Structure 1
Amino acid sequence: MPGVICISASGKVLLAGGYLVLDPEYSGTVVAASSRFFTILRPSSSQLSEIIVRSPQFYDALWNYSVSIESGVSLESNLANSNKFVEAAIRETLSLGLAHYGSERIQEWLRIGLEIVIAGDNDFYSQRNRLASLGLSPTLENSQSLERFADTGTTLKNAHKTGLGSSAALITSLVASLLVYLRLAGPEAPSGSRFSEKALALIHNTSQYVHCLAQGKVGSGFDVASAVYGSHLYTRFDPSVIKPLMASTRPPPAELLNVLSPSNIQWNQRVRPFHLPPRTRLMLADVSAGSDTPSLVNRVLKWRAENAAQAKQLWDTIASLNERFTEALHQLAKLSQEEPLKYGMLMRDTAESSISTWGTSGMSKEKQQIVEVKASAEEIRRKMKLMGELSDVPIEPAEQTRLLDACMSKPGVIAGGVPGAGGYDAVWLLLAEPEDMALAKRITDEVQKLWLSWTEMAVTPLPATESRVSGLKIEVMSEVAGIQNLLEKCQY
């Protein structure tokens, strides 16, 4: 069996497509966040068929499971606290192994037990209270100065999330680690750091199912897709592919294997390549309030069902705007490749003045493209806010509207919005990042100054930006900052 396995998965920011990604008729623009969830797995000398899982960033985050595979995979634990995400990932992934190899081989592989450590980058959880306890203001620089995988000072249940997709990234990294351990998924080459396409498909399908199972419903899946594939344009899979598994109390391992197989053509999601244009920066902030995304989604879907014609017209309009926004970003990226000098000048001009002050007379085609990104993003915000008003859901609350409007007046700010389902989770901005680093820093400093002085809500900048690497990554432990300190906390 493999030795130590370390796999990470990226967080997510849904720039466009909120709510619409629930319907296969529409698509979303998903940016993978640089913040990542890590799973470290290795065989242990613990008891036969025992799996020990630790998440040392939280109080009481230790789970011991005894594995039985006499009549399918079952997990038993005498601990009062439970983690349905971890349990579902372990149980269903081992069930795939049971279907593939049979019980004797799985029992042999589990004879010495497993130790698993799970940890997420700091941006997945609000660090405002921790910074305050250290006497530090909530700035980007101070957040970056915190030790990686910092203690949250609370239980997992009470941790304040920032909406970067922690549960999807956790499940994906854990499922991938277990599938590699079971030799059901692996890298392109024995010494490679990238997964094969077939392995990615199995990890994606299994993680989607486990995430839905743990949440008790079939979601859109864009967060899991981002954890696996990174930034992309996403169109969801038909929910019917896993509904038989969701409906069963315990699906037989053979059925699980058939449904989740990479060769199952019913997995019809579309994942198309996408990245933000060069010399732009995604800037995020936690607004320290938090939203119950499932509740928001349920209320919007209820409104949609009760007002089908009106909702259809509005969703089609938003979908068209989303396409405009994404195409405008694509054209900027194309310009950067075809005319890099003009593109560099465009980023400099954008950095030096607010786009809202640009006159339309004699505007260059390059500037028109920047204006198109800004205009389409703002129109998306207006239509999403309208949907929130019609469904009585705070998709873009008035406080965040005022905050974003103030941000858009700053030099260098190209676009902004509330990610995903909206509510009081976070805000995102797209900034110009010219080659002149002093000028680029001035933009982020001005935005940060505005955020820190905002009084309607606590706005905490997050260091996370777009990840330029693949969503799922096989890590070399010695190259991951903070891992050794994390493992020492576990007496690993």
Structure 2
Amino acid sequence: MGFLFKKKPTILYIKPEFASKRASAMEVVVSAPGKVLITGGYLVLERPNAGIVLSTTARFYAIVRPIYDEIKPDSWAWAWADVKVTSPQLSREASYKLSLKNCTLQCTSSRESTNPFVEQAIQYCVAACKVVITEKEKKDAFDKLLLQGLDITILGSNDFYSYRSQIEQRGLPLTPEALASLPPFSSITFNTGDTHSGTKPEVAKTGLGSSAAMTTSVVASLLHYLGAVSIPFPGKQYSENGNRINNGLDLVHSIAQSAHCIAQGKIGSGFDVSSAVYGSQKYVRFSPQVLSSTQDSSWRRLPEMVSDVLKQKWDHENKPFSLPPLLTLLLGEPGTGGSSTPSMVGSVKKWQNSDPTNSQEIWQKLADANSLLELQLKNLNKHSQEHYDSYKHVISVCSRLPHNKWIEMVSDQIGDSIVKSLLDTREVFLQIRHFLREMGKAAGVPIEPELQTQILDLTMDTEGVLFTGVPGAGGFDAVFAVVLGDAHHNPIISTWTTRGVLPLLVGENPNGVCLENGDPRARDVSSAISSININ
């Protein structure tokens, strides 16, 4: 992207694939993060149960630019606009005609290259713009942008996908260094498809909510590009008093939730989309009735349906929430095969209906433990605010010791109070794991499989580990740990690698959707160029 290098005469060093991409003043790049649900698995499906969901450094990027620099004089009479969607990591490109009247897409390329989440995001965004953009000047600009065509490129951070097989094929160890050696936005490996049933091969993922992050990035980039919202740059999401600045994010959320639910064929809890929009948070789901009008669209045009959705009272909660200072989130990929979240959720619901008394008892105990963990994390935040030097010292010392040695290393009242909060936090999370295992056993689903339990118990005994578990609905997809201090200098790395768990590079980042300075692929080129000394 040439515009990133206006002050650099070294533009000749740009990789060939970027040299052909001319800078455009109309280009918009927006990113949205992946997620890790550390509490609230299953419970978050029902109001008013809350879940703590952390947004991550893994992000999806959507790049929107016009297909045509100019439009023909007679283009205002056209009924269709061109749309192109490119996914370089999948080596896929899809082309469409967009109905300017109904806001619907007709595919003009192979359906093998299409993505239902992207298609619904585009349709719902254009329909939303027709509803919310009413000023004549903005409406004229919106119409012109559509007639110039929409060229959309989608990129996902490596963290969303499993590159375990590539690392093993290269004979490399399962270490963060081996994972970091892969180029950014590497090509993605597909699982083997079922050719007899005609199903598409699936992408091997790490469970960070790729579909929600992708949908949100496309929605936010289009709404910004077409003039309906103003997405903030990183660090601009909050005011000086700590309140979240909206900047149209509620519109992004409503449209992203709608598109995501339609694409996946059901109204889910929505925590993954909410964290992609707003960032790390304490989440309570919206009432499903909010999206009831999207479930039967056979008799309504899309703009009318979207207008109805936007008029609804969205009653979700998304209070900002992040880990206390100097605590680090680390994720690992066990490599034991993925799990079907819808199937597991279905089994848990079946168990609830067949055994309401026992299920309600476990459900309530788990909800109480989740609330207690939130309280303990808030206590640690309070300690860090009121006694930061003592807090920092305790975290530093305890990060090098197993938990049963922590209390021996402090001799003052403040330090003792901080250590007690750390130990109480550990104990609460052990209770959460216990109740999740009970739920899984009763429902007949592997929420915390035995293989995961062995790894988690070993991890809990590792120096500097506060707590560890299986995120979201559990299963075999991933394990996570919250550690004291810098995770990449923690023995947990060797603990995991010796047990066949690949430590991922992803961590927590509380920011939600945000505007980017340019194509993230060119950013890596820029970094490389700036490191070159020319005499």
Q: TM-score, normalised by structure 2?
A: 0.82
- Matching of residues 188-203 of structure 1 within 5 Å: 197=246, 199-203=248-252
Give the match for residue 208 of structure 2: 164
Determine whether 1:132 maps to 2:162: no
- List aligned pairs for 1:115-130, cutoff 5 A: 115-130=151-166
8 Å contact from structure 1 (residues 354, 410) kept in 2: yes
CA contact under 8 A between 1:31 and 1:466: conserved in structure 2?
yes
1:28 corresponds to: 51
The correspondence for 1:67, drawn from 98, 109, 119, is 98
Question: Structure 1 residues 21, 290: closer, same or farther in 2, change over 3 A?
Answer: same
The residue aligned with 1:50 is 82
Q: Is the 8 A contact 2:329 2:483 kept in 1?
A: yes
- Residue 118 of structure 1 aligns to a residue whose secondary structure is strand
Contact 1:284–1:427 (8 Å) recurs in 2? yes
Cross-structure match for 1:149: 185
Contact 2:284 2:316 in 1 (8 A): yes
Q: Distance in 2 between matches of 1:77 and 1:238?
A: 37
Greater Cα radius of gyration, structure 1 or 2: 2
User: How far apart in 2 are the matches of 1:106 and 1:75?
Assistant: 20
Q: CA deviation at 1:77?
A: 2.7
Q: What is the rounded CA distance, in whole Å, between the counterparts of 2:403 and 2:228 in structure 1?
A: 51
- Contact map agreement 1:186 1:196 (CA 8 A) in 2: no
AA paired with 1:449? Answer: S
1:461 to 499, 503, 511: 503
Cα deviation code 1:64-90 (max 9, x no counterpart): 111123445343333131311111111
User: What is the Cα deviation at residue 196 of structure 1?
Assistant: 5.3
- Provide the alpha-carbon RMSD of the alignment: 2.7
Q: Distance in 2 between matches of 1:180 and 1:229?
A: 16
Secondary structure of the residue aligned to 1:33 is: strand
Distance 2:436 2:428 in 1: 12
Aligned to 1:447: 492
Residue by residue over 1:189-246, the C-alpha shift from the partner in whole angstroms, topping out at 9 and shown as x without a partner, is 9xx8889515100000110111110000000000001001111100000000101212
Query: Does structure 1 residue 111 correspond to structure 2 residue 143?
Result: no
Which position in structure 1 is the counterpart of 2:10?
none
Find out whether 1:411 has 2:460 as its counterpart: no
Which of 472, 477, 482 lines up with 2:513 in the alignment?
A: 472
Residue by residue, what CA displacement relative to the aligned partner does 1:430-480 show, whole Å, maximum 9, x if unpaired? 11107xxxxx6542xx212121111xxx41110001014x210100016x4
Deviation digits for residues 234-259 of structure 1 (CA, Å, limit 9, x no counterpart): 00000001012123236434433433
Distance in 1 between residues matched to 2:459 and 2:133, nearest whole Å: 56
Give the CA deviation at 1:45.
2.3
- The structural deviation recorded for 1:145 is 2.5
Separation of aligned partners in 1, 2:102 and 2:189:
40
Pair 1:269-2:305 in alignment: no
2:154 partner letter: I
CA distance in 2, matches of 1:51, 1:483: 26
Q: Which moved more, 1:407-416 or 1:139-148?
A: 139-148
User: Could you tell me which amino acid in structure 2 is paired with residue 303 of structure 1?
Assistant: W
Aligned amino acid, residue 346 of structure 1: V
Q: Which amino acid aligns with 2:124?
A: E
**Structure 1 residue ranges (4+ consecutive) displaced by more than 6 angstroms after TM superposition:** 102-105, 192-195, 359-363
TM-score (norm 1): 0.89
Match of 1:246 among 275, 285, 295: 295
Corresponding residue for residue 215 of structure 1: 264
Structure 2 partner of 1:345: 393
Determine the structure 1 residue equivalent to 2:12. none
Instruction: Tell me by how many angstroms 1:181 deviates.
Output: 1.9
Which amino acid letter does the alignment assign opposite residue 517 of structure 2? V
Residues 1:365 and 2:412 aligned together: no
Residues 484, 416 of structure 1: alpha-carbon distance in 2 compared, 3 angstrom cutoff: closer
| Cα distance, 1:109 vs structure 2 | 2.8
Which amino acid in 1 is paired with 2:183? E
Seen in structure 2, the aligned counterparts of structure 1 residues 341 and 108 have a Cα distance that, compared at 3 Å, is closer
Q: Which residue is equivalent to 1:38? A: 61
Deviations 1:130-166 (A, max 9, x none): 2233332221122123211111244894221100000
Q: Quick check: 1:193–1:474 contact (8 Å CA) kept in 2?
A: no
Q: 2:121 aligns with which of 89, 93, 98?
A: 89
* 1:334 maps onto 2:373 in alignment: no
2:442 aligns with 390
Q: Quote the sequence identity (%).
A: 34
Pick which of 81-90 and 16-25 moved more. 81-90
Q: From the superposition, tell whether residues 243 and 485 of structure 1 become closer, same or farther in structure 2 (CA, over 3 Å).
A: farther
- 1:368-383 pair list within 5 angstroms: 368-383=420-435
**Structure 2 unaligned spans of 5+:** 1-23, 72-79, 192-199, 239-243, 527-535
CA deviation after TM superposition for structure 1 residue 104, in Å? 8.2
Whether the 8 Å contact between 2:328 and 2:485 is mirrored in structure 1 is yes
Q: Which residue of 2 aligns with 1:281?
A: 328
After TM superposition, give the deviation of residue 44 of structure 1 in Å. 1.1
**Which residues of structure 1 form unaligned runs of 5+?**
435-439, 487-492
How many residues are aligned here? 469
Q: State yes or no: 1:230 paired with 2:266.
A: no
Map Cα deviations across residues 342-363 of structure 1 (whole Å, 9 max, x no partner).
2122112321221145579999
Q: Secondary structure at the match of 1:247?
A: coil
Tell me what 1:490 maps to.
none
Q: 1:70 to 1:472 in 2, by over 3 A?
A: closer
